[in-house]
């Protein structure tokens, strides 16, 4: 049974996981000798990314998703605007629901310097229905199945996928 705070305080949990991820990635890059790093966060979340990370001249627009290990989540919604951004990618963080340890990670993206792979044609829908119960399409959202992601076990593998 998952602690109800994961649902009640989901916005806080999302920010905690984001900070843990960025901190772990920075630590990893530091150990690899990378010091030319910038982390940028958008003021508005409309283009499909949560953070921009640049390391040694390679820029990545990253959308972060998260679900606890063992969750039944089988797909993620991705904004098509991410495909227009340099080095767009999606990192689906799996985490321990008790202590928030991160990993493994699921990766959807191209090699450093390459664009986001095609998102496909499965259009997302709103999670809540209108007054008649109809869930309208979200034309800027595509659905990606878990099987379209590659598993990365460690932060070193994440760093390599992001920056080579």
**Quick one: 18 exposed, middle or buried, by C-beta within 10 A (0-12, 13-18, 19+)?**
middle
* Residue 21, SS3 per DSSP: helix
Residue with tokens 């992601």: 149
User: Whole-model pTM?
Assistant: 0.93
Residue 66 has what pLDDT? 96
Query: Do 15 and 64 touch, CB atoms closer than 8 A?
Result: no
Residue 124 has what pLDDT? 95
Domains along the sequence of the chain with CATH: 5-123+133-163 (3.40.1350)
* Residue 59, SS3 per DSSP: strand
Paired residues of 105 in beta bridges? 93, 152
Euclidean distance between CA atoms 92 and 152, whole angstroms: 10
Euclidean distance between CA atoms 18 and 90, whole angstroms: 13
Residue 10 has what pLDDT? 85
Residue 1 has what pLDDT? 61
Residues of the chain predicted below pLDDT 50: none
pLDDT digits (tens, 9 = 90+) for 117-159: 999 999 999 988 899 989 999 999 999 999 999 999 999 999 9
Residue with tokens 């649902």: 7
What is the signed CA dihedral for 62, 65, 69, 75, rounded to 10 degrees? -120
């Amino acid at each position: 049974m998952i602690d109800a705070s994961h649902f009640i305080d989901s916005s806080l949990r999302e920010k905690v996981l984001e900070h843990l991820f960025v901190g772990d990635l920075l630590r990893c890059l530091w150990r690899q000798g990378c010091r030319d790093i910038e982390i940028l966060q958008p003021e508005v979340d409309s283009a499909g990314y949560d953070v921009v990370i640049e390391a040694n001249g390679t820029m990545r627009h990253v959308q972060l998703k998260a679900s606890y290990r063992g969750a039944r989540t089988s797909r993620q919604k991705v904004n098509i605007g991410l495909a227009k951004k340099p080095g767009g990618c999606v990192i689906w963080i799996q985490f321990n629901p008790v202590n928030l340890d991160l990993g493994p990670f699921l990766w959807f993206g191209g090699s450093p310097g390459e664009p986001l792979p095609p998102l496909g044609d499965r259009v997302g829908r709103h999670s809540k229905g209108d007054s008649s119960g109809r869930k309208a399409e979200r034309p800027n959202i595509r659905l990606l199945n878990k099987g379209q992601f590659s598993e990365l076990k460690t932060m070193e593998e994440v760093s390599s996928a992001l920056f080579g």
